Amino acid sequence: MTPKKNTTPIRVNVLFFSVFILFSLLVLRLGIVQIVHGEDYKREINRKEDVTVNNPVPRGRMLDRNLELIVDNKPLNAITYTNEGASQEEMLDVAGKLAKIIDKDTDKVRERDMKDFWMLKHPEEAKDLITEKEMDQFRNKKLKNKDLYKLQIERITEDHLKQLSEQDIEELAIFSIMNNGYKFVPQIIKNKDVSKDEFAIVSENLTLLPGVNATTDWDREYKYKETFKPVLGKVTTSSEGLPADRIDYFISRGYTRNDRVGKSYLEQEYEDILQGTKERVINITDKAGVLLEKELVAEGQRGKDLILSIDMDLQVAVEEIIEKELWAAKRSPGTRLLDSAYVVLMDPNTGEVLTMAGKKIVKDKKTNEVQMQDDALGNIINTYNVGSVVKGATVLTGYKTGAISPWTSFDDRALDIKGTPIKKSYSYLGVLNDIEALKKSSNVYMFHTAIRIGNGVYRYQKPLNLDPQVWDTIRNSFASFGLGIRTGIDLPSEQTGAKGANSPVGKVLDLVIGQYDTYSNMQLAQYISTIANGGHRMQPRVVKEIREPAMNGDLVGPVYKSFSPKVLNDIDMEDQWLARVHTGFKKVMQEPGGTAYRYFGNATYSPAGKTGTAEAFYDGQYRVKGDPLIETMNISLVGYAPSENPEIAMAVIVPWAYQGSVDHGANKKIGRAVMDAYFNMKNPSKQPNDEQ
């Protein structure tokens, strides 16, 4: 029998050999990892992350043309919190400690927030709000986490919420701010009415309050209180943050969601200038997100300052005049609807706005008390029928189109046009040339001018048959003075006014006497400035220059940018035509028979201008929706002085001034007092004469 061959040693040898090969491969792999890639893995283990944060700085200030501070930054004690990687539980602990130290406003805490907070404070009770059956459905994936959460929220009752104390609610208010902030971005916990004790206690306990800091914040301070404040604009609060409709715009420019930004008028229009350059800090963290160190890479710089064209002393004086004359006018009959008046003073040669004032009488809905409030914005956002002040543009349009020429005369007899109410002046003024028509404010002269512009002929009880192109001809000419178009002022929300329908074509007669289209007071200021300066439509400006932040205790820094006067267009008029209108406007105020002579005849500064009265329909605060329209009268005034080489131009509107036939003349009274104030403040030693 042949002995059986033993294969065990062979199998053992194969096994040992395989183990040897595998071990060799493992050693080789470990060698590669350590020698070839060792440094890479070591760097990964020690990897740090850089998170750059832009910290806000105080906004730029606003000063008037005489470098008087208007808007400044008022320092505030503030309590802030910066999340440097804390967990929700850690933030909750800090919020609880802070709630014991400071008084926190809870007005913005919502019921939904309280329910979430109650669940955090009472986790076991919150679990009991879910039934066992619902938990089985959750385990079997028939319900999701969000479904359970919704059920819990729905089942939290008022009795549950009553378990939260006042201090708990304060803790919630603080925690909500902490929890909604970005990592490494300071959040304002409290910056209004932080008491000395609160500030001191927080400062002393910073080691027990990780992420909390007692620091200095700022708020806008208005040196002239409410004066001109609507035009200056508003800034969002830290709780408001970025406006919802412009978040993407600001985020793309390096803002964070809780940054304060300008949200109206000058604050908004010059946001990029006022915001300043943010401080840039790099927060260096390890792989787990733990803060290791901070590195300042760029110091912040306060926003640049705006130097306004406004003279605040003059602004205050003009507002006092408006307020005084408004109250006085309210004592006249037929003034139930009278509630406002507006004044613009402009340098006709540069477009700089020296004064933009408005006042409005309002009734407090809660107390029914009547009070006067600032309404300077009414100069650009409200438009009205302005009446005869536009007749200078009508006469110049007549010259330009060849409809009339210097010395052209018309009989002021009323017009009787077929299918149209009698068209006339306020009284029969005789036969008038162009200058006398302006002086005495003839409507009929302007009607004849419009008829000729439209290639029509007036015949008693016959239709006019005007060329429909007459509308565009007149409106385009008016626009060259600034009437019915944007003036270009450096403020948002400017209104251009309403244009009446182009039919019937006879309504163009109302257009040329200022009783059809509507205009703003700023448009009137631009219009009269264009005539005053010889035919240049200047862009109105409220900001005249931008300054760098002041250094070394100086009031203002060096000039960053100056705004040169900008001519928007030149009117296509001959010098002799403008001279005729200048003469007519001068006679309005300086010659007996002129419509403003009674008020300006003895003025020492040689004024020129034009008065206006317009039939209008009331559309103000006292109108009840659905009620029939109420007829009323708007009164206005435009002027400039001195009549030779003018240095100041003025526009005044008093809308819904009176009903009936008793004109209290508030437009002219305001205009005279305002002009007197300007020249008196310019040369205090030379007092203007009293009114006649």
The catalytic residue positions are: 388
Q: Which residue has the tokens 């009415």?
A: 193
Instruction: Name the helix (H) or strand (E) containing 668.
Output: helix 666-682
Q: Closest Cα to residue 79, out of 191, 169, 230?
A: 191
Tokens, residue 615 = 């039939």
SS3 of residue 320 by DSSP = helix
CA distance linking residue 678 with residue 27, whole number of Å? 96
Exposure on the CB side of residue 245, measured as CA atoms within 13 A: 1
User: For the CA atoms of 11, 16, 21, 26, what is the dihedral angle to 10 degrees?
Assistant: 130
Tell me 388's DSSP state: G
Q: Using CA atoms, how far apart are residues 389 and 514, in angstroms rounded to an integer?
A: 7
Q: How far out from the chain centre does Cα 81 lie?
A: 31
**Residues contacting 287, CB < 8 A, separation 6+:** 45, 47, 48, 49
* Dihedral-angle region of residue 444 (phi above 0 means left; psi in -120 to 50 means alpha; beta otherwise): alpha
Q: How many CA atoms lie within 13 A of 687 on its CB side?
A: 3
Instruction: State the Cα–Cα distance between residues 116 and 101, nearest whole angstrom.
Output: 23
What is d(CA 94, CA 208) in angstroms, rounded to the nearest whole number? Answer: 8
Give the CA distances from residue 71 to residues 74, 400, 559, 681, in Å, rounded to whole numbers and listed in that order.
Answer: 9, 47, 18, 23
- Residue 415: phi and psi, rounded to 5, are -100, 135
The three-state (H, E, C) secondary structure of 226-271, written as one string: CCCHHHHCCECCCCCCCCHHHHHHHHCCCCCCCCCCECCHHHHHCH
450: helix, strand or coil: helix
5 Cβ neighbours under 8 A, 6+ residues apart:
none
- Closest of 548, 580, 583 to residue 562, by C-alpha: 548
SS3 content of the chain, % helix, strand, coil (to 5): 40, 20, 40
Q: 351's torsion region: left (phi>0), alpha (psi -120 to 50) or beta?
A: left
Task: Please give the helix or strand (H or E) that residue 570 lies within, else none.
Answer: strand 567-570
The closest of 541, 561, 557, 68 to 272, measured between CA atoms, is: 561
Task: Assign 3-class secondary structure to 94-128.
Answer: HHHHHHHHCCCCCCCCCHHHHHHHHHHHCHHHHHH
Of 572, 566, 523, residue with least CA distance to 544? 566
In degrees and rounded to multiples of 5, residue 35 shows phi and psi of: -85, -45
